[in-house]
């Protein structure tokens, strides 16, 4: 089953994960989508926090009264830390779900050996 662009596009996704996504059965895709819906809020909060961090840093440098912006900066740091710490169990569960697919079992992928991201060749 071909995944939708919205559920699969990540620039650093590993070739192994791309192959698994391309070969998901409808039931496996449904299970992955259910997991995705459950983890959407923490993931979005992480991205918002990480995006707020550089913006607030730049604004603090150029605004005369930075207290409001300092609060944004603090929230960005807190969201980023929570996301990075909370992201580990989410990535672990995602690996487990992907490795339970028929294709991953045929190829011998395990959660310990599956790379979610690839930063080069």
Q: What is the pLDDT of residues 52-71, one digit of tens each?
A: 767 776 766 666 665 666 77
Per-residue model confidence (pLDDT) at position 3: 47
Judged on CB neighbours under 10 Å (0-12, 13-18, 19+), 109 is buried
- Confidence band for 34, pLDDT divided at 50, 70 and 90: confident
Q: What is the pTM of this model?
A: 0.64
92 has pLDDT over 60: yes
Q: Please give the average per-residue pLDDT across 38-62, as a whole number.
A: 71
78 has pLDDT over 70: yes
């Amino acid at each position: 089953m071909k995944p939708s662009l919205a559920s699969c596009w990540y620039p650093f996704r590993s070739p192994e994960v791309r192959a698994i996504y391309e070969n998901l059965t409808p039931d496996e895709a449904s299970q992955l989508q259910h997991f995705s819906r459950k983890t959407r809020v923490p993931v979005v909060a992480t991205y918002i926090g990480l995006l707020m961090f550089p913006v607030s840093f730049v604004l603090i440098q150029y605004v005369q009264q930075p207290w409001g912006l300092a609060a944004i900066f603090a929230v960005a740091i807190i969201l980023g830390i929570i996301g990075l710490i909370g992201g580990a169990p989410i990535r672990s569960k995602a690996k487990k779900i992907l490795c339970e697919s028929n294709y991953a079992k045929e190829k011998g992928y395990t959660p310990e050996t599956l790379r979610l991201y690839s930063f080069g060749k």
